[in-house]
Amino acid sequence: MRPLRVILTLFVVLLVVFSARSAKAGVCWGYDTFDSEDCTGAHGCFGSRAPTYCSFGCISGTCNNQGNSTECCGTSHYIAQITPDGDSCDAEECTGGSGVFRTHASVSHVNSEHSAERRQGYSPGLIMLSANMSYKPARLIYVFNRCSHSFKLIVEDGRLLTTGGL
């Protein structure tokens, strides 16, 4: 009976170790940067920022969607931050690259076009609520990952944008 317990214990231990290794090997991160968004602020400030999220990639470690921040027209916005753990990512796409890839890079000429359109009196991507208040709608985004041939879900929260008093 005792050898049975020993073998069973070894079996369970091996299973735990194997499971842990499998889980660790799967945590490889990159950044997804979406088309830039306009931001406005006091004294006629008008700028743009590029929302950045954790995505699939080739850096082993942890990623926090609010691990870093950027400022636009005096308002802070969270952006993603990867904390590497030093391990490697063994996907084929990760073995010869720079370590970070972007699946949805922002398109600068489109952004410039949108900025110009906004100055001409409308605001693509925003729902107008009043003369000085707009709403950037929340979105669920399913992002294709070429590395793992899979998809991830990004919850992009909506927010109100004001350009002065109400």
Query: Candidates 42-50, 80-88, 140-148 — which segment interacts with other proteins by CB under 8 A?
Result: 140-148
Which residue number, 49 or 104, has a Cβ lying nearer to other proteins? 104
Q: What's the closest the beta carbon of residue 90 comes to other proteins, in angstroms?
A: 15
Q: Phi and psi dihedrals of 87, rounded to 5?
A: -75, 165
Q: Is 24 in the site for other proteins (CB under 8 A)?
A: no
14 with 3: CB under 8 angstroms? no
Task: Give the whole-angstrom CA distance, residue 151 versus residue 95.
Answer: 21
Query: Candidates 36-44, 46-54, 84-92, 146-154 — which segment interacts with other proteins by CB under 8 A?
Result: 146-154
Three-class DSSP category at 4: helix
Which candidate, 62, 60, 61, 56, places its Cα nearest to that of 88? 60
Applying CB under 8 A, among 74, 84, 124, 164 the residue interacting with other proteins is 124
Distance from the first to the final alpha carbon of the chain: 79
Q: Is 46 in the site for other proteins (CB under 8 A)?
A: no
**Other Cβ atoms within 10 Å of 145 Cβ, number:** 16
Which residues would be at the binding site for other proteins (CB under 8 A)?
3-4, 7-8, 11-12, 15, 22, 66, 78, 103-104, 114, 117, 121-131, 133-135, 137-144, 146, 148-153, 155, 157-160, 162, 166
